[in-house]
Amino acid sequence: MSALGYVSKVDGGYTLGLRLKELSKPLEQRDEQIRRHFIDLIKSMAQLTNNTAYLAVPSGVKEYLYIDAIERDNPLTIRSPRGRREGLTTSAIGKVFLAFDDDLKRTLRVQGELSAELERELSEVKDNGYALDLEQAEPNLNCLAIPLFWKGKLVAAAGICGAASDLTSSRLIHFAGVLSPKHTSIR
């Protein structure tokens, strides 16, 4: 591994090698392509709601990764989590990934991590085309997430979060209806 550049020997052990950076380039390019395509939608979501809007991609069977965020000056808004990972079963964005990815859902079901209540909620998310988190992940925080598709496959999710007093359930449902499906897929 060291001779091929995947690891480098350091005092008392090994560290990741530069060869891994080369292997990750296609993933970085894909994230950048997703980011560029959906930036107008993310900006519109932030402006429409006066809260921070997020763009996230799946990252394994238990997490997703925030790859972009547009912040607003609203003092009640949540600051950008860009680069942070979050769990799939505890947020609106995670519920979108689970609802629209049968393989991912099956994996978590086999691991015993999907309750009957969450299974019902994921079915509603798929039917509605959006997910809500009404103070489930964090007290006084409400969130909305929508799926983003590329060639018929879920590639990302867009979300907004804010104070429960500002982003009420009815406001979030209204915003979900306003967000045009034409922006949520790459043809």
* Structure confidence by residue, pLDDT tens digits, 70-81: 886 655 455 545
Average pLDDT over residues 154-171: 93
Per-residue pLDDT, 150: 84
Long-range interactions of 29-36: CB distance < 8 A, separation 24+: 31/57, 31/67, 34/67, 34/148, 34/150, 34/155, 34/156, 35/67, 35/68
Residue ranges of domains in the chain: 26-186
Q: Give me the CATH topology for the region 26-186.
A: Beta-Lactamase (3.30.450)
pLDDT at position 83 over 50: no
As a whole number of angstroms, the distance between CA 90 and CA 77 comes to 19
